[in-house]
């Protein structure tokens, strides 16, 4: 069964998944929040998802950031739509900065680097990778 991670934003949601053996995290897609529920319905009909991992927006002092209320609403709906799939929230404090730096240093063409959704999917991948690393000990 796969793990699925989300980097939730009000304009885009970055999504990453693990392989079935839960070893490798891979960027999957970037979806507009209005389309996420149809996307999840289709995806979960084809692939078994064991756990949802959601990036939790936290400020440097550990308190919730301004976008936390949107993530809370997303998590609440995930629980309602998929009550059989556990949800884990993971601190996403530096994922966007790390993702941006990784993209900037990559060999991607300038046009690809400037795609806004790329940061979101890379961030979701980092969230998933962080979660998987904490589970392997």
CATH number of the domain residue 14 falls in: 3.30.420.140
pLDDT (tens digit per residue) in 73-117: 999 999 999 999 999 998 775 555 555 555 566 555 554 434 566
**105: its two tokens:** 């240093």
Q: Residue 112: which residues within 8 A CB-CB, separation 6 or more?
A: 118
pTM of the predicted model as reported, rounded to 2 decimal places: 0.79
Instruction: For residue range 77-87, list pLDDT tens digits in order.
Output: 999 999 999 99
CB atoms inside a 10 Å sphere around CB 74: 20
* Domain extent at residue 86: 2-135
pLDDT in tens, 15-61: 999 999 999 999 999 999 999 999 999 999 999 999 999 988 766 56
Q: How many structural domains compose the chain?
A: 1
* Number of residues written out for the chain: 137
Secondary structure, 3-state, 88-128: EEEECCCHHHHHHHHHHHCCCCHHHHCCHHHHHHHHHHHHH
């Amino acid at each position: 069964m796969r793990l699925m991670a989300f980097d939730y934003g009000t304009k885009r949601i970055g999504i990453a998944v693990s392989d079935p053996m839960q070893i490798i995290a891979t960027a999957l897609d970037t979806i507009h929040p209005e389309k996420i529920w149809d996307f999840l319905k289709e995806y979960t009909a084809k692939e078994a998802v064991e756990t949802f991992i959601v990036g939790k927006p936290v400020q440097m002092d550990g308190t919730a950031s301004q976008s936390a209320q949107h993530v809370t609403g997303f998590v609440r709906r995930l629980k309602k739509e998929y009550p059989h799939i556990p949800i884990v929230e993971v601190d996403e404090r530096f994922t966007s900065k790390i993702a941006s730096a990784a993209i900037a240093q990559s060999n991607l063409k300038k046009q690809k680097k400037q795609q806004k959704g790329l940061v979101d999917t890379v961030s979701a991948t980092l969230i998933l990778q962080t979660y998987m690393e904490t589970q392997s000990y």
